[in-house]
Amino acid sequence: MSWSLYRWVWRLESPLHIGMMPAGALNRCRLYVPAWALWGALTAEIARGQATGNSPQYREVGGKLKQDVRFTYLYPAEEVGNGSCAWLPRYEEGKGLVWQREDGQGILTNRQMRVRLLSTQPGTAIEPSSDTAADGTLREVEYMLPRWRDNGSPLFLIGYLFLKDQAFDHDLWAIQEITLGGETRYGFGRLQRIYLGLARDCFGIATDLSRSQPILQGPECVLAHTRPEPDGIEKGAMEIVLGWDVGILRPVADATPHWVPGSRVNGQRNFAIRGDGLWEIDKIT
């Protein structure tokens, strides 16, 4: 059993809303795409592509993806020379959450990053009987812009793909565009794939591809929601990980708060990537 590792790059073609805890009437947006959102979008694309007259087998395809494929989160990236470079989160003493470019050539506070990436759009529900705004439904939706606000260059989203024994090769290679996130009925969330190729590491983190799950060796910060373990994380923040499933907001793993991306690892530890895209400390040394 072995895994193959690929780096893939997507270009954002329309506004993207990846929801997080709201603030009053503002539906806030994350600055990254969690693995479970990516898994859901790819499950839908593959199941529809495989359907031949019957209803798409979403549950079967989704279960096999969790078994044979692992996804990292997708992080925002910008053009650098002839390629693209991701911005990654990390918690710093006295600064809180900051974002650093993966080549080490830039660092921004979380507020500065949100200013570069996000905008808002007002909305409301309309009462059919009167064709007026329904009471209590006025809101604003925060979303990622398709271009960086300060320089107008395209916004890319970069992540990594782990494939077990060449599983899903044909299906995944055939997908050139996906739609994910919220507000898709209004044209949000279109991503165009522009690169997919073999990689040696994962965001600069060494990997062990010979185990039953991909292992990330000695990262300084976690880059996915991570199951809490005693003394596993030095500093960061925690939240319960929720995702939409058949119209219901459910815990992705369980109701236990998980460390958020950017939380700093305590010491030298390895992490396994689970089928749901969450990380957990590898207990095999």
Predicted pLDDT at 231: 86
The helix or strand, by DSSP H or E, that contains position 170, with its residue range, turns out to be: helix 169-174
Question: Tokens 């009437």 correspond to what residue?
Answer: 25
- The pTM of this model reads 0.92
Domains of the chain: 3-199 (3.30.70)
The helix/strand/coil state of 80 is: strand
143-152: pLDDT as tens digits: 999 999 988 9
Question: Exposed, middle or buried: residue 217 (CB in 10 Å: 0-12, 13-18, 19+)?
Answer: middle
Predicted pLDDT at 160: 98
Q: Which of 92, 76, 95 is nearest to 84 (CA)?
A: 76
Contact by Cβ (8 Å): 267, 256: no
Predicted pLDDT at 285: 59
Predicted pLDDT at 248: 61
115-149: pLDDT as tens digits: 999 999 887 767 777 777 766 677 889 999 999 99
Residues of the chain with pLDDT under 50: none
Predicted pLDDT at 21: 82
Question: Exposed, middle or buried: residue 94 (CB in 10 Å: 0-12, 13-18, 19+)?
Answer: exposed
